Amino acid sequence: MAARFIGVQLEVESPKPLGHLFHSFSGAEVVSVDYRESARGFAAAFEHAGRGVSTGPDIQIAEFCDTILDFGDDARSVWTGAYRRTFNLGYEIDDSSECFRSELAPETMASIARVGASVIVAIYPRDSGEPAS
């Protein structure tokens, strides 16, 4: 196997504290995997609890976007005031020379644009001691 999908993290950086986002995401079974103060304010990374390879990026991004579109006024203010709103698609790759492709559906791209976010793709080398799935 050349590569496999690991999961989607939503990364947010804002001059404002992100507490309202934590509150809004908690009902959607989203957890924070990183939260810290940064030079420009506050930064957090969120993931769906218990997700990962069990669902693909389209489903995970759609669930994030649905929650974001349902934000109350306080969370929406934090979201729109953030200077970074990025969906990070994580993949793990071995040393195989096979070509790897992953596609996002047009509906997913439209949802990402609707919430004002961007996309990055992170490719991680698989630990040589880890068995292939």
On whether residue 130 sits in a domain, the answer given is: no
On whether residue 36 sits in a domain, the answer given is: yes
8 A C-beta contact, residue 43 and residue 34: yes
Sign of CA dihedral 111, 67, 58, 12: positive
8 A C-beta contact, residue 101 and residue 3: no
| Window from 53-57, 79-83, 111-115 with minimum mean pLDDT | 53-57
On whether residue 39 sits in a domain, the answer given is: yes
pLDDT tens-digit profile of 83-117? Answer: 999 999 999 888 776 777 889 999 999 999 999 99
On whether residue 80 sits in a domain, the answer given is: yes
Overall number of domains in the chain: 1
Range of the domain at 25: 3-125
